Amino acid sequence: MRALAVAAVVLAACGPQLKPETLVDQLRVLSLTAEPPEIHPGDTTQVEVLELDPSRPMQVTTVVWVGCDPDPFNLGRGACNDTTALLQPTAFSTFPPGVRILGFGPKAFYTPPADLFSVLEKDDPIRFNGTVGQILAVVIGEEVKPTSSDAELRELFTRIEKQEVQTVLALTRVTVSEKAALNKNPRLETLVVDGQPLPKGAQLLAAPGQHLTLTLSAPAEDRETYEVRLPDGPQQRTESLVAAWYSSAGRFRDARIDLDTHPDTTFIAPGGLEVPDDPLPPRRQATLWSVLRDSRGGQAWKQYPLFVCDASLARPSVSMVVLPSSRDQAISVKGTNLGSTADVVIGGVALGRSVYRAATDEFVGDWPDLPPGTYPVRLRGKDCSDADTGLSVTLP
Q: Do 304 and 322 share a structural domain?
A: no
Q: From the CB of residue 146, how many other CB atoms can be counted at a distance below 10 Å?
A: 10
Look up the pTM and report it.
0.92
CA angle 307, 311, 314 (to 5 degrees): 100
CA atoms of 364 and 385, how far apart (whole Å): 19
Q: At 6, is the pLDDT very low, low, confident or very high (cuts 50, 70, 90)? A: very low
Q: At 148, is the pLDDT very low, low, confident or very high (cuts 50, 70, 90)? A: confident
pLDDT at 101 over 80: yes
pLDDT per residue as tens digits for the range 251-308 = 999 999 999 999 999 999 999 999 999 999 999 999 999 999 999 999 999 999 999 9
Contact status, residue 220 vs residue 235, Cβ threshold 8 Å: no
Contact status, residue 351 vs residue 283, Cβ threshold 8 Å: no
pLDDT per residue as tens digits for the range 42-56 = 999 999 999 999 999
Share of the chain above pLDDT 90, in %: 83
Q: Do 205 and 166 share a structural domain?
A: no
CA atoms of 342 and 382, how far apart (whole Å): 5
Domain count, the chain: 3
- CATH number reported for the structural domain that contains residue 159 in this entry: 2.60.40
82-113 exposure pattern, b = at least 16 Cβ within 10 A, e = fewer: eeeebbebebbeeeeebbeebbbebebebbbe
| Residue 95 domain-assigned (yes or no) | yes
Confidence at residue 4, expressed as pLDDT on a 0 to 100 scale:
37
Q: Do 384 and 281 share a structural domain?
A: no
Query: What domain range is 291 assigned to?
Result: 192-308
